[in-house]
A and B are shown apart, each in its own frame.
Chain A
Amino acid sequence: MSPEMNKVSKKSDFPGSLLRNQLFIPFAALFILLVFNLIADPSFFKITMSQSNAGNAVLLGPIITILDNGSELAILAIGMTLVTAATGGQDISVGAAIAIAGSTLLRVLCGTNTRPDTLRTTVFAAFLISVLVAMAFGAFNGMLVAIFKIQPMVATLILYTAGRSIAAWINNNELPIISTQASPTFAYYGGYIPGIPIPTPFFIAAACVVVILLVLKFTNLGLYTQAVGINESSSRLNGLNPVFIKWLTFVILGVCVAVAALIKVSRLSSINYSVIAKDIEMDAILAVALGGNALSGGKFNMVASIIGAYVIQMLTTTLYKFQVPSDALPAYKAVVVILLVVFSAPAVREKLERMDIGRSKKTGGVRA
């Protein structure tokens, strides 16, 4: 229908600025929060050395709290970014999946005894099993999305609804508790390793980030997921298997879920199926969005997502600090979402770009 509709783009003059553009959003948010805290209460940046009840020297302070509590979110943001990029949708079942993975972990460690004196196996072995289980549930979601072409949010709604019941069922509705007598080391994953004053979750998150950055560097995961997310049909004609790649991103998210579950369960050495990692899926999705990644899929910037995750945690911690009721937190996050959505809306973007061009070229009324 359109033979000669060659669109000569007028904005081809922002070459490498895309990357800068993308990191701009999370860094700007970070900056705003830092400045706000600096003005409102400089003690936000205070870090003190203390001794924990387990006898370890530990660092304390809001910044450390953010690095600690933001870990699960950062880990989930990794998988969520990939899922978003490849499928143009989000997995809303990660909270429920964490309940399942955490429940599996405890089931393997404790057996049917809810207060074991000794663990039935090593934490590592139990973790591996919970990784497999989480990958299996990820594979289920991935199958619905990739093979049956169900909209990701709709497909993962199934596990979102059923996941916590499945988690409870895995442990017969019991709430196992791992005491320090049973395993002195189990609490390390969500706490501190003796002799290291920085919370362990931070190291786990850092390790995950390093792993994913290495994977992105030494494999084509990034190129493939982006290509599939931007243009599935074209990707297929270039020899890619979009079905497999979409499925794979959900399986990778499953691994992230299992790691996050280990931290979550270790923090309290127990689990509560109905509230563990509650609403974390929304924070993880928000992290991806705050990273400047399009929720409709395609190009992504992993580092930006991870920064986004810590920014959200910083927001949460800041709000707690100023005694905002925790049931009002979603309202504040909603404001962030609204701002993000508005700023990434095509109409606003166009306007901003036009303003930009107008400023730089002093030619206001150029319209394509």
Chain B
Amino acid sequence: MKKKVLAAVLAGAMVLGLSACGGGAAATNEPAPAPAATEEKKEEAAPAATEEKTEEAAPAASGDLIKVGIINNDPNESGYRTANDRDLQATFSAENGYDASFAYSLKNDEQIAAAQKFIQDGVDYLLLSAADTAGWDGVLQDAKDAGIEVILFDRTIDASPDLYAASIVSDMDKEGQTAVDWLASQNLDKYDVIHIQGVMGSAAQKGRSGALDAKVAAEDNWNIVTQQTAEWNAETAQQIVQSVIDSGKEFNVIYAENDDMAKGAVAALDKAGISHGVGKDVIVMGFDCNKWALEELLAQNWNYDGQCNPFQSSYIDDVIKKLEAGETIAEKTIIMDEKGFDATTITQEDVDTYGI
């Protein structure tokens, strides 16, 4: 008897939790509170896609929507993911001729289960941002056998390119290289860098760390004061920088692998009275181009922010349109345009356009 009550309560609580999650997703479903994403689409995607859309609109209107199953990471994971999800939700809408279903998980096995379900449901396209690179061969083969085209976005996987139609990714190595090149162009006499890393082993961490590590190894006047992972966490970054300040070591660059960690680092600097930003003692670098981070650039409190483009949907849309029209995709790996912003040249327009 007791057990039954317990089970009921647990179930109830789970439902509560789920409905809370569902509520969150529902809220992001509405296009209205996502001005950044919609504007972005209009400006970048619209010109490329509109002509085709008019052709495609006919089948769409007759109720023949393109069925897509989208497997993504949890939108709560980061601001990047939230923007990414919003962008996808806005693009793959009924108005645009799509019947989209979404599945979110940070776990590979749950994602694979979702993929199997989508295959059973008979989607036309399977869009995938895999949590883990391995383990996808089987399910993608199933998709292929079922005549479903797979398009990877944001993350690649370890599987034969035959199994997917296209892969739309950011080039993390390039992001890191762009940032390091920018830093080198500052022509400092000496580079004493606090290097705050993301979760070790993640693609973003590897790419962004790699360029800096190479540069430090190559140049005599570049050295690392501390190199630690803050696991994308602002609080941890703050503590790391705090401990460097407490130990009295000299530094003049903070190279944080995302905006949150840069923010944590800056909080520690502020506390200790160390000036930062354009023309100040310490150069602050972040990644991801959160809107608030770009605003910091605009106010010249930070120096540089590297973009990690979350707006893959226009690229995906493009690929689907081509496939629907019977064209072939020449280059399977499509690398998105990504910028790096300098505080001295950034404009309000950039903030509005690229901020996520």
A contacts B: CB pair < 8 Å = yes
Contact with A along B238-259 (1 / 0, CB 8 A): 1110110111100000000000
Of B2-10, B41-49, B50-58, B93-101, the one touching chain A: B2-10
Q: Is B246 a contact of A61 with CB atoms below 8 Å?
A: yes
Q: Is A53 a contact of B275 with CB atoms below 8 Å?
A: yes
Q: Is A268 a contact of B263 with CB atoms below 8 Å?
A: yes
Neighbour of A53 across the interface among B24, B78, B239, B270, CB < 8 A: B270
A277 to B236: give the CA distance in the assembly, Å: 10
Contact with B along A162-186 (1 / 0, CB 8 A): 1011101100111101000000000
Q: Is A162 a contact of B233 with CB atoms below 8 Å?
A: no
Chain B interfacial positions (CB closer than 8 Å to A)? 2, 5-6, 9-10, 13-14, 16-18, 20-21, 23-24, 27-28, 33, 75-79, 82, 199-200, 226, 228-236, 238-240, 242-243, 245-248, 260, 263-264, 267, 269-275, 292
What chain A residues lie within 8 Å of B199 (beta carbons)? Answer: 327
10 of the cross-chain contacts (CB-CB < 8 Å) are: A65-B242, A69-B239, A165-B24, A272-B78, A272-B234, A321-B243, A325-B229, A326-B229, A326-B240, A327-B200
Known: A169-B27, A192-B271, A326-B228. A320 touches B243 (CB 8 A): yes
Known: A60-B246, A169-B20. A275 touches B234 (CB 8 A): yes
A173 to B75: give the CA distance in the assembly, Å: 8
Neighbour of A158 across the interface among B5, B14, B78, B269, CB < 8 A: B14
Q: Is A191 a contact of B17 with CB atoms below 8 Å?
A: no
A177 to B299: give the CA distance in the assembly, Å: 15
Instruction: Sort chain A's interface into a size bin.
Output: 35 or more
- Interface of B, secondary structure class, is helix
A86 to B271: give the CA distance in the assembly, Å: 40
Q: Is B76 a contact of A274 with CB atoms below 8 Å?
A: yes
Nearest first, the 10 A-B pairs at minimum CB distance are: A162-B17, A320-B243, A169-B24, A275-B233, A158-B13, A53-B270, A165-B21, A166-B20, A51-B273, A172-B27
Q: Is A50 a contact of B27 with CB atoms below 8 Å?
A: no
Chain A interfacial positions (CB closer than 8 Å to B)? 41, 43, 46, 50-54, 58, 60-62, 65, 69, 115, 144, 148-150, 158, 161-162, 164-166, 168-169, 172-175, 177, 191-192, 199, 264, 267-268, 270, 272-278, 316-317, 320-321, 323, 325-327
Known: A54-B270, A268-B264. 19 other contacts (CB 8 A): A41-B247, A53-B274, A62-B246, A62-B247, A162-B16, A165-B21, A168-B76, A169-B24, A191-B270, A272-B78, A272-B234, A274-B77, A278-B233, A316-B239, A320-B239, A321-B246, A325-B229, A326-B228, A327-B200
A121 to B260: give the CA distance in the assembly, Å: 26
The CB with the most chain A CB atoms within 10 A, among B21, B239, B260, B275, is that of B239
The CB with the most chain B CB atoms within 10 A, among A54, A173, A264, A323, is that of A173
Known: A173-B76, A268-B267, A316-B239. A327 touches B231 (CB 8 A): yes
A325 to B236: give the CA distance in the assembly, Å: 11
Q: Is A65 a contact of B13 with CB atoms below 8 Å?
A: no
What chain A residues lie within 8 Å of B242 (beta carbons)? Answer: 65, 69, 320
A268 to B275: give the CA distance in the assembly, Å: 17
Nearest CB of chain B from residue A168's CB, rounded to whole Å: 5
Neighbour of B247 across the interface among A115, A150, A321, CB < 8 A: A321
Known: A115-B292, A326-B236. A148 touches B6 (CB 8 A): yes
Q: Is B271 a contact of A58 with CB atoms below 8 Å?
A: yes
Q: Is A173 a contact of B27 with CB atoms below 8 Å?
A: yes
Q: Is B273 a contact of A149 with CB atoms below 8 Å?
A: no
Known: A173-B24, A268-B264. A162 touches B6 (CB 8 A): no
Nearest CB of chain B from residue A202's CB, rounded to whole Å: 13
Q: Is A168 a contact of B13 with CB atoms below 8 Å?
A: no
A274 to B104: give the CA distance in the assembly, Å: 15
Q: Is B235 a contact of A276 with CB atoms below 8 Å?
A: yes
What chain B residues lie within 8 Å of A52 (beta carbons)? Answer: 270-273
What chain B residues lie within 8 Å of A54 (beta carbons)? Answer: 270
A167 to B124: give the CA distance in the assembly, Å: 35
Nearest to B200 among chain A residues (CB) is A327
Q: Is B292 a contact of A177 with CB atoms below 8 Å?
A: yes
Q: Is A164 a contact of B76 with CB atoms below 8 Å?
A: yes
What chain B residues lie within 8 Å of A162 (beta carbons)? Answer: 13-14, 16-18, 20-21
A33 to B9: give the CA distance in the assembly, Å: 45
